[in-house]
Structure 1
């Protein structure tokens, strides 16, 4: 199933690019849709990080990598590199949030500070896991484990998380990020 979905995304990307080219656009513009998307020097998750991209940033699409179609060549701010396909979209991402009561906001500071942005399982996913767990016990166990991790995550403050990330020399994905890679002093 995953191979079919990847092929569909690749075909849709090619169709979008073809449509843009047919409409007269010399180089199709795509948008970054995931926070802290890495522009990589090569088609490898361990390659050098050239820069960090944020949702809504425009990139010029140069095509899929010939050896690994999941990676796409793009140019942004004069830098050319590769981005994983699932981080790109034809349309700019919606930057607004919808609350349970239906109200909308583009200010996500409250969501980020609440920890809701990292919630692991929505109610529908939990229900699915429980139902599937009746047939495959590991599903139910996994739901329970994720729920316990969610409880633990709510007890960790942003300051504690930032301290751990710094101490463990991890890539900081919480809060504003200006550096391209950990320890990079450019």
Structure 2
């Protein structure tokens, strides 16, 4: 097995065999990974830009980061007055209540994690396709495509409502699937990292 399953302990998840020595706050870890990758790609953009930007970078970054911060604040507000709108929280809920396919089968953890990663990736692909095909979703998704330039900040430029709907969609997939908190955490990290890399204005060697 790759890793022991995570268990809920208040607001944190802890690895069972290291409960006294190590605590795992998925929000802080994801934020740390995001910040690290963001800075890395931003620096590479400065050194190896693929194309010349046409709009003010400072103004664009302020706008894009502001949109992202607004979405994050709204999700936290909803979590404070209702329920946590995070896929990891949904995974903990499913795990603690024995819900979902993968919580009912006795398979090795690495197989269940791999299945969860593939299914969640397909779910995000379906969501992205729907955002281009369904008019009301496209109106929200246009905020992402309205960026005058494309760089690492474009990866986080999404309408707050679209962010909320995306999180609800992931939760709707995570619970019946029974994806583990660890699998969902890994997926979120990989998804964010790939999104920033794909949008980064980096000139790769040919």
Where is the helix percentage greater, Structure 1 or Structure 2? 2
TM-score (norm. length: structure 2): 0.24
Where is the strand percentage greater, Structure 1 or Structure 2? 1
TM-score (norm. length: structure 1): 0.26
Q: Which one scores higher on RCO, CA 8 angstroms, separation ≥ 6?
A: 2
Larger Rg: 1
